[in-house]
Amino acid sequence: MAVAPPSCCLVAFPPRAKDGLVVFGKNSARPRDEVQEVVYFPAADHEPQSKVQCTYISIDQVPRSHAIVISRPAWLWGAEMGANEHGVCIANEAINAREPAAETEALLGMDLVRLGLERGSTAKEALDIIVALLEEHGQGGNYYEDADSCHSFQSAYLIVDRDEAWVLETVGRYWAAEKTTEGVKCICNQLSLTTKIDAEHRELRSYAQSQGWWTGEDEFNFSEVFSPADEHLDCCAAKDSLEKQEESITVQTMIDILRDKASGVCIDSESFLTTASIVSVLPQNRSAPCIHYFTGTPDPSRSIFKPFIFVGDIKLVPKAQSPCFGDDDPAKKEARFQEKPDRRHELYKAHEWARAVIANDQEQGRQLRKTMLELEKQGLAAMEEILTSSEPLDPTEVGDLFYDCVDTEIKFLK
């Protein structure tokens, strides 16, 4: 059974989070050499009976898809994490379960993240869409760009809006979900739901009984029933870090947690690296905009979190997008991944230089990181002004926001 990458997804609600804000975050742990890109897709209308090609399979398209911004491994269609124009954020975790994940190509967990964002205007609506697609099409296929071995996993999701969060955990086509509206919540690379289940597959318990995993007499505990027999269930480092916060949780708090290598939240191991990160702030006051901060580069402790706000006219950011290989992409050909093209985008290449300097030149690296954090601090302060302003947001002032931040970072690194 493949080792699930040790990512983590977190959310904090008021009053644990500051000033009526919901704060969401994820570190995406993936194979060390994988490139993630940040891509914006505007809302779109689609022809009746049209199809949408996901990573491995095509499914029926809907009449209209919402505007989304996502961070994704550059070889696949779906997303590791992202947000939509309605203030819905979704991130997923690869997990192992008692039932092995299917290697047969179907929907990937990352495909379901993007489909939930494109089609759901609330967290609950996104949840319903994901489980309906899961039950119809199943999940399966290689999670990595690897021709030598198929790494397949089950999936867990953190689905959040301004009012509530849903933890959704899946095993094959079966699933269970828990709703949260207060405190903090975290999911990592193992099952976490226990006896509090607010929604579930109609045949979940009978299936567990049919497999001999549950007698029907004891209280139904999802993690105990469906986790691998040899897996030790414990708290993840991110959950510990979040719960230990004594003061109100802010965007900066979440960024600091995601940067913490000592605790194991920020992964930098022989096999895995935190290849991208996100922090989103969702004001419960609907007159204030949601703000989403993406790194678009590996290792949040050496990256800048850059803000994005949905408005009507967003300037695309090709410098944070990987080259497109079209139908010649080895990920799209049968007998997949026979080659591994260079998927590095301009921001990634500039950041490679910065990571090398920080790692190899103590003094220059210290100065470089100090300047990077100062750039980030300026962006956070400007976004705080927007959140606390009584004036309505001027869309013309933020349509270029993420573009300008990426452009400034690249110029600085060069």
Catalytic residues: 9
Q: Which of 258, 192, 24 is nearest to 123 (CA)?
A: 24
277-291: burial string, b at 16+ Cβ within 10 Å, e else: bbbbbbbbeeebbbb
Instruction: State which H helix or E strand residue 177 sits in.
Output: strand 174-180
Phi first, then psi, for residue 368 (nearest 5°) are: -65, -45
Positive or negative, the CA dihedral 232, 237, 243, 249 is negative
Q: Which of 187, 140, 136, 135 is nearest to 160 (CA)?
A: 187
Helix, strand, or coil here: 231?
A: coil
Q: How many Å apart are CA 413 and CA 245, to the nearest integer?
A: 33
- Residue 144 sits at the vertex; the CA angle it makes with 76 and 403, to the nearest 5 degrees, is 40
Q: Strands of 42-136 (E only): list them.
A: 44-45, 51-53, 58-60, 64-65, 68-73, 81-84, 89-95
- Rounded to 5, what percent of the chain is helix, strand, coil? 30, 25, 45
| All residues at 6 or more sequence positions from 397 whose CB lies less than 8 Å from its CB, including other chains | none
Q: How many Å apart are CA 291 and CA 327, to the nearest integer?
A: 34
Strands 272-283 and 174-180: unpaired
Q: How many Å apart are CA 67 and CA 54, to the nearest integer?
A: 17
